[in-house]
Homo-oligomer: A and B are copies of this chain.
């Protein structure tokens, strides 16, 4: 089981790459409504269990999903770690840009 608290090299590239693929975004979307088994993820997507498992592994490496297997059922949950890291990366750049624009406006107004 992947633990949500360790943050081994949280790479924005891994996170954005993972979210660039439509099936993986659909999995994240589904899990935002609550944990789900791999088979219940596969059904509405119309893909095989093996395909979902591969996507889940990519999402786990990006810290976007955690999963645990109890008996024969693997249950997946959304992992805040990756979601927050991606939000932070974007908002830092947006904020820096806004501050720059504010300073330019100040200088122009002087």
A residues near B (Cβ < 8 Å) are: 12-13, 16-17, 19-22, 25, 28-29, 31-34, 78, 80, 83-84, 86-87, 90-94, 96-97, 100, 104
Interface contact A97-B12, CB-CB below 8 Å: no
Cα A36 to Cα B63 in complex, Å, equals 33
* Residues of chain B lying within 8 A (CB to CB) of residue A92: 32
User: Which residue from chain B places its CB closest to the CB of A12 in the assembled complex?
Assistant: B25
User: Which residue from chain B places its CB closest to the CB of A84 in the assembled complex?
Assistant: B94
Interface contact A100-B33, CB-CB below 8 Å: yes
Cα A91 to Cα B27 in complex, Å, equals 15
Q: Which of B20, B32, B94 contacts A32 (CB 8 A)?
A: B94
Minimum Cβ distance to chain B for residue A14 (Å): 8
Q: List 28 A-B contacts (CB under 8 A).
A: A12-B19, A13-B21, A13-B22, A16-B17, A16-B19, A16-B20, A17-B17, A20-B20, A28-B93, A29-B93, A31-B97, A32-B92, A32-B93, A32-B94, A32-B96, A32-B97, A33-B97, A34-B97, A34-B100, A34-B104, A78-B93, A80-B94, A80-B97, A83-B90, A83-B93, A83-B94, A87-B87, A87-B90
